[in-house]
Amino acid sequence: MYTADATYVGPGCLDGKCGSQQENVDAYFQLIEEHLAIEAEAAELEALIRDLRAEGHSEEEITAGIDELIHYEILKERSKFVEPTIAIATAYQKLYNYFNENLVKPVFGEPLPHVILNMSRKGRGHAVAFFAPDRWRDIKDGKVLAEISLVPENTDVPLQEICQTLCHEMMHFKDQLDGRPGKNGYHARSWFKFMAAIGLPGKAFNAAKTQVGDEVEPGGAFEQAFKAMPKELVLPFVGRSVFKKIKNPTMQGLRVKYECPSCGINVRGKQGLQIRCDTCDEVLHDSGI
């Protein structure tokens, strides 16, 4: 490509000088942004602004629209230059780093340690992500690391939901380090405490507290951090489900988990069963999973 002063810029070398790969990439993106900022003053955009004003849009709406357009063009240029795997892994890491520094650290006084951020299609139900402790080992010093895994087929949702779920899993990590974590998917009291502190109060949907959601506290720490998040912090790709609907499901496909609302004991069986827990004298509820 050519910059505003007609200097050619290509991968590997910039202005005839070759630096490290990362330096070249950073400089290349900077020149792209400068180039697009100049283009933003071109006749096409001026015409667009005139049209938007004629349609009665406010100056704030017009400015936001133009910023969004330039941001989109920058993302398109980045996608041409960076391999998809590097692009999504980098974006995922930046999201973790952002909430670690701008949410976890201000609330708790220090950020969480690093984890392995990966993708896995073995999530539960409609979960966007899940946390797993001590799943990786450093081959140099033997140190173990936890992981937070995104479930690709469930990531085609609003960005806030992805960020909310990421923070949900980060609090599982916090609970693992400083709380009293539950077992087998159980959400302990300490986890609920941490979630409330970051402005995402948790809500259990079953007595065993294995099915838990959360909601955004208006004006809370998470909402403030999300609203202040830079526009470029987005996942450049979202997953697609590869599973086909079964027209005639087998009995196995119809099996669901029934759970006692008091003690949490559970069994699996076909839909529509009436099962009672003799110990608690309670009817087991269909948990939907």
| pLDDT tens digit sequence for 194-253 | 999 999 998 765 554 555 678 899 999 999 999 999 988 888 888 876 544 434 433 344
pLDDT digits (tens, 9 = 90+) for 100-110: 999 999 999 99
Domains of the chain in start order, with CATH, are 9-81 (no CATH), 86-227 (3.30.2010.10), 252-286 (no CATH)
In angstroms, rounded to a whole number, what is the distance separating the alpha carbons of residues 202 and 164?
A: 11
Of 127, 180, 134, 188, residue with least CA distance to 152:
127
pLDDT computed for residue 112 by the predictor: 96
Q: Please, what is the Cα angle at 202 between 200 and 205, to 5 degrees?
A: 145
Summarize the confidence of residues 119-140 as an average pLDDT. Answer: 82
Q: What is the dihedral of CA 31, 37, 39, 42, to 10 degrees?
A: -160
Q: 132 pLDDT exceeds 50? A: yes
pLDDT at residue 276, rounded to an integer: 75
- Work out the average pLDDT over 182-193: 76
The reported pLDDT for the residue numbered 43 is 61
The pLDDT, as a whole number, for residue 188 is: 78
Residue 72: predicted pLDDT:
60
Report the candidate in 199, 202, 183 with the shortest Cα–Cα distance to residue 191. Answer: 202
Instruction: Give bridge partners of residue 148 from the DSSP assignment.
Output: 117, 131
Interior angle at CA 109, CA 107 and CA 112, nearest 5: 90
Confirm if 15 and 9 have CB atoms less than 8 A apart.
yes
Band the pLDDT of 147: cuts 50, 70, 90.
Answer: very high
Sheet-wide strand order for 255-259:
266-270, 255-259, 285-286
49 or 237, greater pLDDT = 237
56-60, 119-123, 162-166, 168-172 — which is least confidently predicted? 119-123
